[in-house]
Amino acid sequence: MPLVTLVEVLKRAEAESFAVGAFNCNNMEIVQAIVEAAEAEASPVVIQASQGALKYAGLEYIVALVRTAASSTRVPVVLHLDHGTDRNQVWQALRAGFTSVMVDGSPLPLEENISLTRQVVEVARAMGVSVEGELGRIGGTEDHVRVAGREATLTDPEEARRFVAETGVDALAVAIGTAHGPYRGVPRLDFERLKTIRELTGIPLVLHGSSGVPDEDIRRAVALGVRKVNIDTDIRTAFVKKMREVLAARPEEIDPRKILGPAREAAREVIRHKIRVFGSSGRA
């Protein structure tokens, strides 16, 4: 089926209290792994591309790969721009056919984040495209372990209320203690803060940096209003681990398909597990 918007899949996620998985892609094998997993679980899915992924694969390749994947499946597929920090890149994604964009103004002062995000919402809405905004700083691993000063980087619930009211975003990425990339130790999520943000905003919330977060914590976050869960690192880890295993067992292997094929399968299994944890199996 054709690509659908994030708003469309979030409608059912809200009504039935589950989260949709948003999985990062960089190449054909990962796009295929994501769609095969969603299909096997009969689940809606978000395939997202970061600015780094677009630079690596090329915008047109990513759009063509994801469109092709969506057209050959019956599950709803959203093509989403992950962490759009550059206004021009957001416009490019809109023109190229993305059905959802994230505008990440989180490093900016609140007023500037609101104004950038509102501008993107105005344009995207006119094109029938969904928008995710971000408030608070979702750290990298280094930021995460530096616990001192953590409070200051997390999303302020009152600011979130104002941000949502003034921008009109469809979904909000929140900083509640997760970080991008691998964790050293187990992350500590601020569930009280999540609950308050949800009460004050009433919109679908997005959890970034979700690789390495224990399944139980993910389920708890979903119960408190997280409706989109972003996963990249756990896919990369499974994919590359399998490549290393194949190469270690057969160092003479020169056929990329014999290396990337098993890696694609390993990625697919990780994604299937995540989809079950998010509660979106059977909700396509």
Could you list the active site residues? 82
For position 230 contacting ligand 13P by CB under 6 A, the verdict is: yes
Tokens of 240: 């590359």
Closest CA to 49 of 71, 36, 39, 34: 34
- Residues 155-194 interacting with ligand G3H (rule: CB under 6 A): 180
**Cβ closest to ligand G3H, residue 82 vs residue 132:** 82
For position 198 contacting Zn ion by CB under 5 A, the verdict is: no
93 makes contact, choosing from ligand 13P, Zn ion, ligand G3H, none, with CB < 5 to 8 Å by partner type, with none
Length of the chain, please?
A: 284
| Number of neighbours of residue 107 by Cβ within 10 angstroms | 10
Residue in the structure block whose two tokens are 């372990």 = 145
For position 117 contacting ligand 13P by CB under 6 A, the verdict is: no
8 A C-beta contact, residue 25 and residue 47: yes
Beta-strand runs (E) in 75-129:
77-84, 100-103
Tokens of 96: 């190229």
Q: Which of 118, 208, 236, 264 binds Zn ion (CB under 5 A)?
A: 208
For position 46 contacting ligand 13P by CB under 6 A, the verdict is: no
The least CB distance from residue 233 to ligand G3H, in Å, is 6
- Residues 229-258 interacting with ligand G3H (rule: CB under 6 A): 232
* Site mask for ligand 13P (CB under 6 A), range 83-112, x = bound: x-----------------------------
Q: Which of 2, 52, 182, 256 binds ligand G3H (CB under 6 A)?
A: 52
For position 141 contacting ligand 13P by CB under 6 A, the verdict is: no
Q: In this structure, what are the phi and psi dihedrals at residue 136, rounded to the nearest 5 degrees? A: 100, 165
106 makes contact, choosing from ligand G3H, ligand 13P, Zn ion, none, with CB < 5 to 8 Å by partner type, with none
CA dihedral (267, 50, 21, 193) positive or negative: positive
Tokens of 43: 């689940």
d(CA 154, CA 175): 5
Q: In the complex, which residues of this chain contact ligand 13P (CB under 6 A)?
A: 24, 82-83, 180-181, 208-211, 230-233
